[in-house]
Structure 1
Amino acid sequence: MRSFLIFLLTGATLWVASCANTSHQSLGPGPGGAHEAKKFSSLTVMAYNIHHCNPPSKPGLIDLEAIVSTIRKQAPDLVALQEVDVRTERSGGVHQAEEIAKRLNMHFFFGKAIDFQGGEYGVALLSRYPLSEAIVHRLPTKAETKGEPRILATAKVTLPDGTTLRFGSTHLDAQRDSVNRELQIREIVKVASAEPLPFLLAGDFNATPGTGTINLLDQAFTRTCQECAPTIPVLKPTKAIDFIAYRHPGGKFSVSSHKVIPETYASDHLPVTAIIRVQK
């Protein structure tokens, strides 16, 4: 697949366009200090569906700082966000991925799934470490289902000791019928199988453990939880649908901890974090 890169000299922002993408996506560095040296032995990874920064208890309100505060308290190295607005009417024209990254002093990549309300809507990656080779993979949907277009956004992460890995964020189809989710997870597995780098994947899979979708995920990746605590709804949660998973042919990843964060105001999903050890 042929792709091209356009380097914008002002703002040090890299824009990526690909034939699979059909639109430009933004990849931006965090402010100064995002390259700080760190003795590297583990990664703290977060998956968070942020509901376009709208607290479910306050319809119409955008509270971006509540999302930022929730993320900051966990001090993650990598964050996969879903339901991110970029310059939409309902979110006041704010580039949410860029603004969240700026407040957290992190690098970011936003991947557009759809055009929405004069702006864009999709998923994003945040990273304490430099991002490169960002790609938006369009995921399949059966035409007759009229499902909302879905994507997998990935980027290469370069860690302080020079180690590189592939990090991805996704948000699978939400329809009751699982046909699109299973098509989409098969495509993600196909992408991951062709990737030579270690692969960390996080997101909202709209499927629970034991379903066909998660069984397919488990054939190619290792989830950071097996008996997974529920992530929705935020009040009295009953279902686990937000996951972090990894794929490393060399077997160098292992899970130190996995937890669901009991933050019930900022979004309609509870965030998930995991500490992943990396063996040298």
Structure 2
Amino acid sequence: MTYNVHHCNPPSKPDFIDIPAIVKAIQAQNPDLVALQEIDVNTQRSGAFNQAEEIAKALNMKFFFGKAIDHGGGDYGVAILSKYPLTETTVHRLPTKPETNGEPRVLTTAKVKLPNNTTIRFGSTHLDAQSDSVNRQLQIAEIARIAATEKLPFIIAGDFNASPESGSIKALDQHFTRTCQTCEPTIPVENPTKAIDFIAYTPAKKFKVIKNTVVPEKYASDHLPVVAEIKLSGK
């Protein structure tokens, strides 16, 4: 599952933090792994707690938070939730061109040990939001470089802030296989028009997509969550 949670603030309720709504949305899908974006930790707007930790506790999952920037006296970034043990947790800094004043972005990864004792790498990311972004191209290139050094089957998920026809996603598709090819839109939550949230994997031969679903959860965040059921091949 990938879910941009809008710092757990329902768009219809400004200044209100509703972690139980995010928990309920995730719980309804019962995912093994979740990539979260727009997570607050000890910020003025959200309160003195780690949102990833609170969500993980409620779901009885493991978690790892990856800080991207300082925000409101605390931290802001992405996170991974997992039913299974997480090791080798890493925050990879992604590049931005200084002259663009782009917000710093990260890819957070972890090694995940599955119940059958196989292991994979799982990553959560949130790419640059500027239109026609040169930064997204740089960030995809860095993610591809990281993936090229990876010996484990690798799944990444997140808010790529780019639609399938964009240069950024075309660049992503050169290195990863997305779980949807004709992708349902994920924003806005009311009458969505754009697909920008994706799950993708490499190498292609190691995975088989059973199904990919955009969940019509319209209250909890300004993005719809995406869930993919993926079979891991032993080949």
Q: TM-score, normalised by structure 2?
A: 0.98
Residue number in structure 1 paired with 2:212: 258
1:225 maps to 2:180: yes
Kindly state the Cα deviation for residue 124 of structure 1 after the two structures are TM-superposed: 0.0
| Residue 125 (structure 2) pairs with residue 173 (structure 1) | no
**Residue of 134, 155, 166 corresponding to 1:211:** 166
CA distance in 2, matches of 1:148, 1:172: 9
List structure 1 runs of 4+ shifted beyond 2 angstroms: none
How much has 1:252 moved relative to structure 2?
A: 2.2
Q: Distance in 2 between matches of 1:275 and 1:239?
A: 22
**1:99 aligned residue:** 54
Match of residue 87 from structure 1: 42
Matches of 2:73 and 2:206, distance apart in 1: 44
- Secondary structure of the 1:93 match is strand
SS at match of 2:198: strand
SS in 2 for 1:99: helix
* Aligned-residue offset at 1:120: 0.3
Give the residue type in structure 1 aligned to 2:104: P
CA separation in 2, counterparts of 1:186 and 1:49?
22
Give deviations 1:120-147, integer Å, cap 9, x for gaps: 0000000000000011000000000001
Aligned position for 1:278: 232
Distance 2:178 2:203 in 1: 12
Counterpart in 2 of 1:268?
222
CA distance in 1, matches of 2:187, 2:74: 27
| AA at the equivalent of 1:265 | Y
Mapping 1:159-170, distance limit 5 Å:
159-170=114-125
Aligned ranges for residues 115-264 of structure 1 at < 5 Å? 115-248=70-203, 251-264=205-218
Taking the aligned partners of 2:8 and 2:142, their CA distance within structure 1 comes to: 29
Aligned-pair distance for 1:67? 0.1
In the alignment, the residues of structure 1 paired with residue 39 and residue 45 of structure 2 have an alpha-carbon distance, to the nearest angstrom, of: 12
Give, as a single letter, the amino acid of the residue that structure 2 aligns with 1:231: T
Q: What's the secondary structure of 1:169's corresponding residue?
A: strand
Note the C-alpha offset of 1:279: 2.3
Structure 2: any 5+ residue segments left out of the alignment?
A: none
SS of equivalent residue, structure 1 residue 87: strand
CA offset at residue 191 of structure 1? 0.3
- What letter corresponds to residue 9 of structure 2 in structure 1? N
Q: Which amino acid in 1 is paired with 2:208?
A: S
Query: Once the two structures are superposed, what CA deviation does each residue of 1:12-58 show, in whole Å capped at 9, x if it has no partner?
Result: xxxxxxxxxxxxxxxxxxxxxxxxxxxxxxxxxx0000000000000
Letter in 2 for 1:259: T
Letter in 2 for 1:64: I
1:199-237 superposed Cα distances (whole Å, 9 cap, x missing partner): 000000000001110011100100000000000000000
Q: Which amino acid aligns with 1:185?
A: I
Q: How does 1:32-111 map to 2 (within 5 A)?
A: 46-111=1-66
Q: Secondary structure at the match of 2:77?
A: strand
Where 1:112 maps in the other structure, the secondary structure is strand
Distance in 2 (CA, whole Å) between partners of 1:208 and 1:187 is 19
TM-score scaled by structure 1? 0.83
Cα RMSD after superposing both structures = 0.7
Residue ranges of structure 1 left out of the alignment (5+ in a row): 1-45
Question: Which structure has the larger Rg over C-alpha atoms?
Answer: 1
